[in-house]
């Protein structure tokens, strides 16, 4: 069992300072989170830093997450006073709705003002939630580097959007210590923590355990399992057998099986999955 995952590169400390220094220059913060893990992909440091600023929460990768949970989380965050929009930043789904929301905010800000000003925005979020993909959609060009590896974006960038609004890009920022060990696990499942620092076989087994509990039918259907085994290890071995991940001597190729399960979860091939239910968050806050 992976008991604790923490990853806090030095540039993330600089990102925190960058956000603090530039917050006064912007009218609104766009916080991009992963719709599959809406709690774990929200950095509490960001929450603290931007408190008091108008905020738009983008539930990115909503094409990979449970449709019903997308609706539940939208209502949940809107109830706290934030604007919320499910999106798929890779395909551009939701961009028109985003522009409409931003225009409404800009019109409201400029009401009764003689000099009309374009909104100035800041985009924030943890690594690998899709900030760069969103920026490229909004600017209409490849302004920001993208990749499926966390920590691609570097430094501060002011960018002009297609509607002439200004956007400040910031690198992805994690935090020094995860209070709940599930947070690190869920971020690792979704690729927000570098695989290189993790034990992939154990990580995949942890993921299988969560899927056995929350989405057993999807897991069984994807890997053609007649039934879910008693333990994640036995399920992992059953998946390996079904896929033919067998090494010489009839030994299970755990590493290949682990990478396959992680890749297929991250790409949505197992199904539309939300690991953190809105009802659980509501119960914990009650």
pLDDT tens-digit readout, 224-262: 999 999 999 999 999 999 999 999 999 999 999 999 999
For residues 20 and 155, membership in a common domain is answered with yes
Q: Which domain covers residue 253, as residue numbers?
A: 199-285
Q: With beta carbons less than 8 A apart as the criterion, state whether 60 and 33 touch.
A: yes
230/226 Cα distance (integer angstroms):
13
- Between helix 200-214 and helix 254-266 the angle, nearest 10°, is 50
DSSP state, 241? H
Task: Over range 249-278, report the average pLDDT.
Answer: 97
For residues 165 and 223, membership in a common domain is answered with no
* Angle value at C-alpha 149, between 159 and 160, nearest 5 degrees: 5
Residue written as token pair 């259907």: 221
Q: Give the pairing of strands 251-252 and 157-160.
A: unpaired
| pLDDT higher than threshold 70 for residue 145 | no
pLDDT in tens, 192-226: 887 777 799 999 999 999 999 999 999 999 999 99
Helix or strand or coil: residue 32? strand
For residues 150 and 37, membership in a common domain is answered with yes
For residues 163 and 219, membership in a common domain is answered with no
Task: Over range 154-163, report the average pLDDT.
Answer: 75
For residues 265 and 206, membership in a common domain is answered with yes
pLDDT of residue 279: 93
For residues 154 and 244, membership in a common domain is answered with no
Could you tell me if residue 184 is inside a domain?
no
Could you tell me if residue 187 is inside a domain?
no
Give me the percent of the chain exceeding a pLDDT of 90. 60
For residues 159 and 213, membership in a common domain is answered with no
pLDDT in tens, 20-45: 888 889 999 999 999 999 999 988 88
Considering the chain, what is the average pLDDT of its residues?
87
Could you tell me if residue 181 is inside a domain?
no
Could you tell me if residue 15 is inside a domain?
yes
Q: Give the pairing of strands 246-247 and 83-86.
A: unpaired
pLDDT of residue 57: 97
107/111 Cα distance (integer angstroms):
6
In the structure, what pLDDT confidence band is assigned to residue 96 with cuts at 50, 70 and 90?
very high
114/75 Cα distance (integer angstroms):
36
For residues 144 and 216, membership in a common domain is answered with no
183/55 Cα distance (integer angstroms):
23
Could you tell me if residue 16 is inside a domain?
yes
Could you tell me if residue 3 is inside a domain?
no
List residues bridging with 60 in a β-sheet: 34
Which CATH number is 95's domain given? Answer: 3.40.50.300
Which CATH number is 261's domain given? Answer: 1.10.1580.10
Whole-Å CA distances, 87 to 63, 74, 105, 252: 8, 11, 19, 39
Could you tell me if residue 189 is inside a domain?
no
For residues 206 and 272, membership in a common domain is answered with yes
Could you tell me if residue 73 is inside a domain?
yes
Residue written as token pair 């590169």: 9
In the structure, what pLDDT confidence band is assigned to residue 143 with cuts at 50, 70 and 90?
low
| pLDDT higher than threshold 60 for residue 151 | no
Q: For residue 176, give both structure tokens.
A: 């020094």
For residues 156 and 219, membership in a common domain is answered with no
For residues 63 and 145, membership in a common domain is answered with yes
What is the number of structural domains in the chain?
A: 2
For residues 118 and 203, membership in a common domain is answered with no
* Angle value at C-alpha 70, between 219 and 123, nearest 5 degrees: 115
pLDDT of residue 177: 61
In the structure, what pLDDT confidence band is assigned to residue 146 with cuts at 50, 70 and 90?
very low
pLDDT of residue 208: 98
| pLDDT higher than threshold 80 for residue 79 | yes
φ and ψ at 152, to 5 degrees? Answer: -80, -45
Q: For residue 123, give both structure tokens.
A: 């985009």
45/49 Cα distance (integer angstroms):
6
Of 169, 184, 210, at which residue does a domain stop? 169
pLDDT of residue 172: 72
pLDDT of residue 120: 93
Whole-Å CA distances, 144 to 41, 136, 190: 20, 6, 21
0.75 exceeded by pTM:
yes
């Amino acid at each position: 069992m992976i008991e604790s995952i923490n990853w806090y590169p030095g540039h993330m400390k600089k990102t925190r300072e960058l956000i603090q220094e530039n917050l006064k220059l912007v009218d609104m913060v766009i916080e991009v989170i992963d719709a599959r893990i809406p709690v774990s992909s929200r950095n509490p440091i960001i929450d603290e830093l931007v408190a008091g600023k108008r905020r738009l929460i983008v539930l990115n990768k909503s094409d990979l997450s449970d449709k019903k949970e997308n609706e539940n989380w939208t209502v949940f965050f809107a109830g706290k006073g934030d604007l919320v929009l499910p999106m798929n930043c890779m395909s551009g789904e939701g961009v028109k709705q985003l522009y409409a929301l931003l225009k409404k905010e800009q019109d409201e800000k400029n009401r009764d003002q003689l000099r009309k000003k374009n909104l100035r925005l800041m985009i924030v979020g943890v690594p690998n939630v899709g900030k760069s993909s969103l920026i490229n959609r909004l600017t209409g060009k490849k302004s920001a580097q993208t990749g499926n590896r966390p920590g691609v974006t570097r430094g501060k960038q002011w960018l002009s959007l297609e509607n002439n609004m200004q956007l400040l890009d910031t690198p992805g920022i994690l935090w020094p210590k995860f209070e709940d060990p599930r947070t690190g696990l869920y971020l690792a499942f979704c690729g927000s923590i570098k695989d290189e620092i993790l034990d992939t076989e154990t990580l995949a087994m942890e993921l299988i355990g969560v899927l056995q509990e929350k989405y057993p039918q999807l897991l069984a259907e994807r890997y053609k399992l007649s039934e879910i085994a008693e333990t994640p290890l036995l399920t992992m071995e059953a998946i390996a057998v079904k896929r033919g991940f067998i090494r010489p001597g009839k030994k299970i190729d755990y590493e290949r099986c682990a990478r396959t399960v992680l890749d297929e979860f991250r790409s949505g091939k197992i199904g539309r999955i939300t690991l953190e239910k809105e009802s659980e968050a509501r119960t914990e806050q009650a």
